[in-house]
């Protein structure tokens, strides 16, 4: 497996590009929730948890998704739909379908 560190334990160019792509991918989502008053620290923890789940799924292909879903279900967590997220963030009026 390739590494993102060079022989001096510094990030490679590929590592810096990867980090920039991740930041660009989540910036708007992160800022949207901050603008709605949510804690940047809590958002950061959730984002890191999501990345950790991706890591585990990549390391244990075919084994983890069902376990992750079972863990969430046991904890009483649900995945929010896009419609629920839009309503939560004030982008949709729940009384007016299609808005």
CB proximity list for 99: less than 8 A, separation 6 or greater: 92, 93
Q: CA triplet 19, 36, 20: central angle to 5 degrees?
A: 10
Please answer whether residues 89 and 33 qualify as being in contact, where contact means their C-beta atoms are separated by less than 8 angstroms: yes
pTM of the complete model beyond 0.85: no
Rounded Cα distance between 80 and 86, Å, is 10
Q: What pLDDT, in 10s, does the model give residues 20-78?
A: 999 999 999 999 999 999 999 999 999 999 998 888 888 877 765 555 555 555 556 65
């Amino acid at each position: 497996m390739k590494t993102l560190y060079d022989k001096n334990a510094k990030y490679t160019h590929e590592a810096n590009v990867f980090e920039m792509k991740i930041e660009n991918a989540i910036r708007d989502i992160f800022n949207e929730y901050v603008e709605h008053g949510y804690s940047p620290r809590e958002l950061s923890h959730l984002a890191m948890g999501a990345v950790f789940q991706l890591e585990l799924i990549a390391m244990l292909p075919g084994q983890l998704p069902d376990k992750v879903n079972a863990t969430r279900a046991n904890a009483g967590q649900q995945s929010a739909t896009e419609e629920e997220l839009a309503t939560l963030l004030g982008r949709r009026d729940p009384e007016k379908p299609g808005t």
